[in-house]
Structures are given as C-alpha cells and as structure tokens.
A and B are shown apart, each in its own frame.
Chain A
Amino acid sequence: GAVVSQHPSRVICKSGTSVKIECRSLDFQATTMFWYRQFPKQSLMLMATSNEGSKATYEQGVEKDKFLINHASLTLSTLTVTSAHPEDSSFYICSARSTQGYNSPLHFGNGTRLTVT
C-alpha cells in the first residue's frame, strides 16, 4: 500500500534554533500534502495544505513565517519550524493524497515529536 515516510520521528532542539521535518511519499505522487499538529489530549489540527509547486495555504492562526512549508516535488514536502520556542513543542504529522476528493484516502506519516528546550 501507499507509504508516507516522515523524518525524524523525534527531535530535541534548543530554543532559537530551526528544525526541518521531511515528509515523503514513497510509492506514489502526492499532489497535495497536509501538515497537522497535535497537542496532548487535543485533536489533530490542520496547520497548512501544500500543493506541489505552489505556496502553501495556512490555516487561520498559523504563522507562515514561523512554519515554513516547501513542496518542491511530487514526493517531498518539508516543514521548517524557525526560531523554535518551548511552546512549539508538539507532535507534528503529515499526510499525503494523490487525487482530490474523499474517495482518495489520506496516507499519514508516523509523526514527529518535537521538544524544544
């Protein structure tokens, strides 16, 4: 089946540094990728939607200058948390879809646990 690889699975960084998270579709071309964030005991919240070759669409309240998303190819999207702070510590998860519509399933990565010290 379709596989989405997300890397790294865990990362610890110091406050003020930047962290890049990669999301790759291994055996299909992902025209659309989604980035979610999950706080403890809360829902997965959509942060942004990225389409290959175009700028990401950010959800309300998500700082686009802080969470840089690049979807340069049909198999790779990256999320960079710039100048990370402890409040950015969270679980980030990406998903990918090859075609539009609810009949095209979302394939999820395993998530990245970010801890900012």
Chain B
Amino acid sequence: GDSVTQMEGPVTLSEEAFLTINCTYTATGYPSLFWYVQYPGEGLQLLLKATKADDKGSNKGFEATYRKETTSFHLEKGSVQVSDSAVYFCALWQTGANNLFFGTGTRLTVIP
C-alpha cells in the first residue's frame, strides 16, 4: 500500500545552517506530495506541495522537488532560523483517495 518514510529526528541545527529532511514514498501512479509543519501549540499547516514529477514546491525559504525516479520529496532550506523550530510532516495524497498518508514527523530545533 501507499506509505511515506521520513527521516527520524530530532534534528538540532544552529541558526543559518542548511537543512535537509529526507522523505521517500511508496505509491502506485502519480500521487501528490506535501510538507506540513506543526509549530509548538498549533495545528498542522500546509508548508508546500508538488503535484507532479519534477515539480518544485517552495514557501518561506523551504523547497522540495518531486523526484519520481528516486521516489523522494526531500525538504531543504538554505539558512534556518530559530522560528523554524517545529515538527515537519511529509505526506502523500493518492488520486482518488480521500485522505493523506503521513510520515512520522521530524522535530527540528534551531538554536541561536
């Protein structure tokens, strides 16, 4: 069945460091891929998405490229800030399905 495998955390980085959170998926066909972020005490928010192969989603300095050949959707940011500290979830939406499949979440802590 469809699934998402996400890099385990927690991840601790210094401010302005480069961030990569790995995400790979297993699915038939051409799913849509998402990154959600959950800031402390808040609900999940959509960070970015990509709906077809080679698409790049971007938002708030974060980027992720839909790589069908490697079935990956890694999240990257060139220079993290303390305010980026949160839990990040990779998710997959399969065409015709009614729900998202989530990864386990990766907690990021950015220290000054």
> Is B13 in the interface zone, CB < 8 Å from A?
no
A49-B4 contact in complex given A44-B89, A102-B51, A108-B45, C-beta closer than 8 Å? no
**Would you call A34 an interface residue if the criterion is a C-beta within 8 Å of the partner chain's C-beta atoms?**
yes
- Minimum Cβ distance to chain A for residue B60 (Å): 15
The total of chain A residues at the interface (CB under 8 A) is 23
Scan residues 11-50 of chain B and give those whose CB is less than 8 A from a CB of chain A.
Answer: 32, 36, 38, 41-46, 49
Residues of B within 8 A of A (CB): 4, 8, 32, 36, 38, 41-46, 49, 51, 89, 93, 95, 98-105
Total contacts A-B at CB 8 Å: 46
Task: List A residues 48-96 near B (Cβ within 8 Å).
Answer: 49, 93, 95
A46 and B99 within 8 A (CB): yes
Q: For the complex formed, measure the closest distance between the CB of A89 and the CB atoms of chain B, giving whole angstroms.
A: 18
Are the CB atoms of B99 and A108 closer together than 8 Å?
no
From A4, A32, A49, A105, B43 is in contact (CB under 8 Å) with A4
For residue B8, which residues in chain A have a CB less than 8 angstroms away from its CB?
41
